[in-house]
Amino acid sequence: SGFFVNTDSGMTEGFVTDIGPGQCQDVVIGPDELVVFPGATATFAQSISNKGVVVGQYNDANGDPQSFVATPN
């Protein structure tokens, strides 16, 4: 899990993906791997459990930080 600035939208978006072993590598993020909290100005996916539960933070429409827990479907 992690986050990046989408250069198309300017929004900070979270992601969840599998990456191989190694220290540094390029990662391609598909649309089904994005974690974007509805109505947020930024989403930060910060951790993922072995069961796929993602925790993180987002900035609401007022720019105030909030926390979230997202469970897989």
pLDDT at 71: 85
* pLDDT score of 65: 93
Does this model's pTM top 0.75? My answer is: no
Closest CA to 39 of 56, 64, 15: 64
| Residues 32 and 72: beta-carbon distance below 8 Å | no
Q: Walk along the chain (73 residues) and give the pLDDT tens digit of each residue.
A: 778 888 888 888 887 777 677 777 676 777 777 778 888 888 888 888 888 888 889 999 999 999 999 887 7
